[in-house]
C-alpha cells in the first residue's frame, strides 16, 4: 500500500484522536525499524527496537471487519517482530475502544498500564490510552 492509501483507510477507521496523514505514513515507512503488513482491506505498522516491538497502528476497513483479518494481522505482526529479534510487544489503545481491546485480549495481550488523557481528538475530546503488552517468545 502507498502512504496515500494508508492515510485514506486510516481516515475511515479513526476519528479519535485523529487519522494519520500520508506524510506521516511516508515518514514512518522511510524508517528502517518500521514494517508494514496487510493490504487495502486492512494493514498494520509495527517497529522493532532492540528486543521490543511496538504495534503502531492497525486499521481494517469497515466492510472487512469481523472476518478474522485483524487477528491474522496480529499473528503476522508477532511473527515478523519475533523474526526481527523482539521478545515482547506493546501497543496503546483508546480505553473506550471496546472492540479493539477485545481483539487484543483474545490474542494474548494484557494491560500493563494506563496513560491518562493520552489522546486528544480534533473536537477537544480526551481519552485515556491502555498500554497492552504480550510476550512473543
Q: Which of 24, 54, 79, 104 is catalytic?
A: 104
C-alpha cell recorded at residue 121: 481528538
Taking the C-alpha atoms of residue 79 and residue 58, their distance in angstroms, rounded to an integer, is 16
Task: Look up 104 and say whether it is catalytic.
Answer: yes
Q: Which of 92, 111, 118, 119 is catalytic?
A: 92
Taking the C-alpha atoms of residue 64 and residue 69, their distance in angstroms, rounded to an integer, is 7
State residue 8 phi and psi, 5-degree precision: -65, -45
Residues labelled as active-site residues: 92, 104
Amino acid at each position: 500500500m502507498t502512504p496515500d492509501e494508508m492515510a485514506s483507510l486510516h481516515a475511515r477507521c479513526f476519528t479519535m484522536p485523529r487519522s494519520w496523514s500520508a506524510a506521516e505514513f511516508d515518514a514512518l515507512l522511510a524508517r528502517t525499524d518500521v514494517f508494514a503488513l496487510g493490504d487495502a482491506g486492512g494493514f498494520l505498522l509495527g517497529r522493532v527496537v532492540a528486543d521490543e516491538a511496538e504495534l503502531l497502528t492497525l486499521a481494517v476497513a469497515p466492510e472487512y471487519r469481523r472476518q478474522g483479518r485483524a487477528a491474522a494481522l496480529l499473528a503476522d505482526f508477532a511473527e515478523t517482530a519475533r523474526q526481527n529479534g523482539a521478545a515482547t510487544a506493546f501497543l496503546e489503545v483508546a480505553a473506550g475502544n471496546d472492540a479493539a481491546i477485545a481483539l487484543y485480549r483474545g490474542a494474548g495481550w494484557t494491560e500493563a498500564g494506563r496513560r491518562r488523557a493520552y489522546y486528544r481528538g480534533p473536537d477537544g475530546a480526551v481519552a485515556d490510552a491502555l498500554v497492552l503488552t504480550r510476550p512473543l517468545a
